[in-house]
Chains A and B, each alone.
Chain A
């Protein structure tokens, strides 16, 4: 379901050893933070360590551990979230291959004995990197 839209074109940003990219939801309805169960971020084949990943939505930044209990913070389907992690980007290269995988729980679909459906979607796109401007 619209997984080809996960990575927003032209949003790769680098700030020293960290990189970030805007991501869109591959689903049709808002999901709470608790259902955003995991992500990977790789630039040019180099994956950011899981513990370095951060998720920003609604003006707040979360670790994936913090998202587990975030049942009141909703990811709206027309909003971008920002996924960032420790991965160095060589700014001299014109194009970078960005790869994102998302694991989402679909909280209203119970597929078996107390088990909630989860989906894993992946997207890969090429884009230049821009240097992050201090906020």
Chain B
């Protein structure tokens, strides 16, 4: 029987985008607040969001950053990097350019002290195979994010998993994003649409449409994904709010993925990192549309002892509540769920470092 996992609590600074973008708080202030208010110990950062000049990182900055992390008692978990294949407006990067583009960011992760680089779906199995020795050279695990509208059993993800198995590198894995396995259209987003004048009648239809897609399960392919996107646009147009159509489509298909929680079992042994994606907390203190308790139970029962970065995405539309309070409440749900499964979340920094070393070390020996 698998030993119960002890996931490490943490947060991605992406959760605080509205405050950082609004210049209410700078990077150092944010890191200090994360530590002081106990959102860690795990700390995840998006390179291109938080580090000026990224992916160039000079030695002095890297030193200061590492000192700040050490001083505040946080533990760097994942540096989120991007495969900017479309950076030239008239053409895509060549394969050689793409590998070099990723190499620079993997090097930055190593320099800043992140053991994992989160990469994205635009990297093919061939690219991941080509990047494996580079990841190994820098000692950085590449964890490709499985994000709606994909999901664990999506053909593109299974193709990656099968290639990982063939390549056999311990430096290739996945980041599980909870947004792939959502159970409802987020109520806080409905509230935001209400504030933009959408009628209750229209919003009820949006919920019904999403629920129908949930019953059908995730889209089999990009064509079906496109049809669903179109259905949201059509619904908005038929109900006199064509201006909301694209927004319904983007969120209804790209944020709220309708796969079932146990779909994650398809790739479970390759999950190295988790984005605890969520959208809000209701008056009962629960996440109303992401099955946080079921997801934590699954991870604990499967023996997962990596980090879970709480990733609050409600900031896009929720400008009336503090993200700080909402994230604290979601992390309380995670801890409660781990305890209800007979385990616990790790919140002590020293223990988190040991657990994460073992988690990635275990991967190395696998």
Interfacial residues of chain B within 9-53, with CB under 8 A of chain A in the complex: 14, 17-18, 20-23, 26, 46, 48-49, 52-53
Task: Flag if A76 contacts B85 (CB, 8 Å).
Answer: no
Other-chain residue from A1, A29, A107 in contact with B49 (beta carbon distance below 8 A)? A29
B82 located at the interface, meaning its Cβ lies under 8 Å from any Cβ of chain A in the complex: yes
| A interface size (C-beta, 8 A) | 27
Counting chain B CB atoms within 10 Å of each CB, the highest count among A2, A28, A37, A105 belongs to: A28
Q: How far is the CA of A116 from the CA of B83 in the complex (A)?
A: 12
Contact A71-B88, Cβ < 8 Å, known A1-B316, A28-B49: yes
Secondary structure class of chain B's binding surface, majority of residues: loop
Task: Flag if B87 contacts A34 (CB, 8 Å).
Answer: yes
Which chain A positions have C-beta within 8 A of B23? 78
Other-chain residue from B26, B86, B88 in contact with A108 (beta carbon distance below 8 A)? B86
B89 located at the interface, meaning its Cβ lies under 8 Å from any Cβ of chain A in the complex: yes
Contact A28-B22, Cβ < 8 Å, known A108-B122, A114-B92: no
A32 located at the interface, meaning its Cβ lies under 8 Å from any Cβ of chain B in the complex: yes
Task: Flag if B84 contacts A108 (CB, 8 Å).
Answer: yes
Contact A30-B86, Cβ < 8 Å, known A1-B316, A110-B92: no
A5 located at the interface, meaning its Cβ lies under 8 Å from any Cβ of chain B in the complex: yes
Task: Flag if A32 contacts B89 (CB, 8 Å).
Answer: no
A68 located at the interface, meaning its Cβ lies under 8 Å from any Cβ of chain B in the complex: yes
A35 located at the interface, meaning its Cβ lies under 8 Å from any Cβ of chain B in the complex: yes
Which chain B positions have C-beta within 8 A of A114? 91-92
Task: Flag if A116 contacts B46 (CB, 8 Å).
Answer: no
Which chain A positions have C-beta within 8 A of B169? none
B120 located at the interface, meaning its Cβ lies under 8 Å from any Cβ of chain A in the complex: yes
A77 located at the interface, meaning its Cβ lies under 8 Å from any Cβ of chain B in the complex: yes
Task: Flag if A68 contacts B89 (CB, 8 Å).
Answer: yes
Which chain B positions have C-beta within 8 A of A62? none
Task: Flag if B82 contacts A77 (CB, 8 Å).
Answer: no
The 9 closest A-B pairs by CB, nearest first: A116-B86, A107-B84, A29-B48, A107-B86, A29-B49, A108-B82, A107-B87, A30-B48, A28-B17
Interface pairs (6), CB distance under 8 Å: A2-B17, A29-B82, A74-B48, A74-B53, A77-B20, A117-B86
Having A30-B54, A78-B20, A108-B86, one finds 4 other A-B pairs with CB under 8 Å, namely: A2-B17, A5-B22, A30-B49, A110-B86
